[in-house]
Structure 1
Amino acid sequence: MRPIPVSNRPPAPAASSAGMSARQLLQAPHRLMFFIGAGNVLLAMLWWAAWLAAQYTGAWRMPDIAVPPGWLHAFLMQYLVLPSFIFGFLLTVFPRWMGLPDLPRWRYAPVGAGLMGGQLAILLSTLGWDAGFTVGLWMSLAGWLAGVATLGRLLLRDTARTWHARSCFAALLLGCTGLVCFLVFVLTGDAWYAFASIKLGGVVMLLPIYLTVAHRMFPFFAANAVPGYKPWRPMAWLGAMWGFLLLHLLLELRHAYAWLWLPDAALLIASGVALWHWWPRGRMPGLLAVLFVGTAWLPITFALYTTQSVIYLLTGEFVLGRAPMHAMFIGFFGSVLVAMVTRVTQGHSGRPLKMPALAWFAFAALQIVAVMRVVAEVAPDALFWQVASAIGWLLALLPWVTRIGRIYLSPRADGRPG
């Protein structure tokens, strides 16, 4: 579709709360799913911060829940919070990557209903509604299956063999496996399935999707913004990353921690090489810079993982605890989430492609929170730093989430549909 000439464009409607409507959420997949993700991330972290603070202060007692709270925190973040944004992005870009028509509402609305309803029911179970946990898990699975089925139908119609789409879809299938593993854990009580679910969600679901999107989109964005930039997108690199991540997963599932340094060192080198090639050498706009600053957390993550594994090989101790995992989740996943969601939100709402002040605040604050959470694993008062970082996460994202939520409830600023 050719752009409408500036002189013929309808005037942008005045931004006001009067124009806000929940009906706007169904205008596009990213509107609905990003809005749900924004709500999910605040609610999930609010519960986690309250639980951590209760343990630290003893000022109140949180109700007992069906599973260990730390495992539930991991499940919510990996299978409901971040996937809300991921499905919103993929349900929007899959048709465009493949040259297919945009999806009708009835294809993406069930995905949103499952992920939003699932998390709400699970969180209500932490407040005393016992049946909510089971209801929430099955709603979550239903939302996931609806999303995977819709994206799978698009792949069957893809005649161009879009490898980035296939890579993302493979990761989602592994994510479905992880979600089913958590259900098996709840039904049987076998803790190995909870362990497998957590590892599947982070290592071979979220990471490959983030890497695939970065591999396809980041060089494209840079080439459009930085004169003389040469995109670097070898498919062999993406395939190698998949191989190293699968090896890491296999070693984790077999508890062969002493050998994790082999794939982790390879991942450190490969991620460092990619960051070197991707990083523009000239001046770049802020909306582009945050993508690469966020990606810089990836080699940091694997440096921590490699160090952890080597020390374990020599001493048999996990001296860094969950520091590498939180460098990945808060530093890499969190930073790139803010950067990409801001970019999509600005562009698809008819606003200028630039970082608004609240997005800068969220991004900068997340860098501090990531450092705090990593340090918490080796600090003398670890629980205090965990509480502080959970509260910091909420303070960092609340203004940003409020802004983007209002945008999704409002018409496009340029008056165009979508």
Structure 2
Amino acid sequence: MATIPLQEPVYRGNAGPLFFAGGFRPFFLFTALQALLSLPLWLAIYAGGLDLKLPFAAALWHGHEMVFGFAGAAIAGFLLTAVPNWTNTHHVSGKPLMLLFAVWLGGRLAFTLAGFLPPLLVAVIDLAFLPLLAWMVAKPLLSAGKWRNIAFLPILGVFFLANLTVHLRGDMVGVYVGLTMVLTMIAIVGGRIVPSFTQNWLRMQGQAVEVTPLAWVEKGGAVGLLVAGMALTIALPGAAVTGAVLLAAAAVHGLRLGRWHGYKTLRSPILWVLHLGYLWLVIGLALLGLSSFIHALPASAALHALTAGAVGTMILAVMSRASLGHSGRPLVVSPLTVAAYVLLSAGTLLRVVAPVLSDAQMALTHAGGTFWAFAWLLFVVVYFPVLTKPRADGRPG
């Protein structure tokens, strides 16, 4: 079975502050901080208590910062940590990593202060991040000839074009394209690491299981249906054909998930949360498909199952696992981290239900957002020392 191992990259000495010794340190911590700070800010805007004087719809700011800010930082942390492992090359650290992080942070500030800055300046600052990230991960991938993982480069390319579309059009189309790329990465990476980690853990528990992949699903079926369904959502929202393709995508991803023995991992939170994150992908696709046929089910409910649920949970799951492994600590999560897993899904559930129950929509939205943000507060509390202190095993990085 194809796998993406989340093992230790090659460290050949540190350059600069410890916090910038590896990409997972600044980007994983600030992924959580981005969620923790921007979600309450959005709730204040949503309630009408705050006006950022944005030159575009406030909902566009929220969607953009969740997709290109929050998910973008997580993608950077993942790729900067995984690529050295795939290619047996040194990780990006020191000044280059500081520059990349500064560009990402500058984009967050520029987009939030867009009402006070020239649009061209906002675009230049915000758009600079993804090409720089792509350059840093492309060099080792191409030099090592790791063609199997080159697929992440065109994904980053489309992700950049989606962000460019936001700046050119000033509407949600680019956000939806960007979300599609994030979900595509979840389908690819999740499809490799979830069954692999599960199979390995179960064998360590004395359960000899074999996860046999379905060739047509793994060789494009799952990802193809997902991309097709999301593309139709953008081009033909609410159409019957859109709903049908999305429901087919949900069924295929549900079939895929069902073959991964997730029910056997309930004693291992660091594993079952990966299955839970992928389950949110299945739920989100199904709800989005059903919204084409059920008027009482708004597409916004499904989109939050995909964003707050699938994207949020998979990011939290991978970051909590990778942060421990790459800091030389055992892969055992604390009770507070498990609480974060539960709170994030509880918050997502409330946010999904909110637009369906119109009379309670405001209250449920705020409750769901509060739960979701509090999950990231718990992550910061637990992982701040993990991400800012030396490795527990004394090794560099």
Q: TM-score, normalised by structure 2?
A: 0.87
| Partner residue, 2:202 | 226
Q: Deviations over 1:60-79 (max 9, x none)?
A: 44242111001110000000
Matched, 1:290 2:273: yes
| Partner residue, 1:406 | 385
Number of aligned positions between the proteins: 375
Q: Deviations over 1:216-257 (max 9, x none)?
A: 211221122112132345564241223223322432333253
| Partner residue, 1:42 | 36
Q: Deviations over 1:363-418 (max 9, x none)?
A: 10111111100110111231222222222222222122232123211111222211
Is 81-90 or 377-386 further displaced after alignment? 377-386
Identity %: 25
Whichever residue aligns with residue 199 of structure 1, its letter is Y
| Partner residue, 2:12 | none
Q: Aligned partners of 1:97, 1:181: CA distance in 2, in Å?
A: 32
Matched, 1:115 2:104: yes
Q: Deviations over 1:120-172 (max 9, x none)?
A: 233345xxx6018754442221111100122222332232422xx23332221
Residues 251, 257 of structure 1: 8 Å contact kept: no
Matched, 1:196 2:196: no
Q: Aligned partners of 2:132, 2:242: CA distance in 1, in Å?
A: 35
- CA RMSD in angstroms comes to 2.3
Residues 223, 229 of structure 1: 8 Å contact kept: yes
CA, structure 1 residues 256+46, in 2 after alignment: closer, same or farther (shift >3 Å)? Answer: closer
Is 280-289 or 37-46 further displaced after alignment? 280-289
Picking from 72, 90, 97, the partner of 2:79 is 90
CA, structure 1 residues 104+251, in 2 after alignment: closer, same or farther (shift >3 Å)? Answer: same
Alignment of 1:62-77 (within 5 A): 62-77=51-66
Q: Aligned partners of 2:264, 2:360: CA distance in 1, in Å?
A: 43
Larger Rg: 1
Matched, 1:383 2:362: yes
| Partner residue, 1:175 | 159
Q: Aligned partners of 2:215, 2:144: CA distance in 1, in Å?
A: 18
Is 22-31 or 133-142 further displaced after alignment? 133-142
CA, structure 1 residues 90+32, in 2 after alignment: closer, same or farther (shift >3 Å)? Answer: same
Matched, 1:276 2:258: yes
Residues 91, 108 of structure 1: 8 Å contact kept: no
Q: Deviations over 1:48-94 (max 9, x none)?
A: 122123x2xxxx44242111001110000000111101111111112
The answer for unaligned runs of 5 or more in structure 2 is 1-6, 8-15
Q: Aligned partners of 1:413, 1:95: CA distance in 2, in Å?
A: 20
Q: Aligned partners of 1:137, 1:407: CA distance in 2, in Å?
A: 34
Q: Aligned partners of 1:233, 1:25: CA distance in 2, in Å?
A: 39
CA, structure 1 residues 318+116, in 2 after alignment: closer, same or farther (shift >3 Å)? Answer: farther
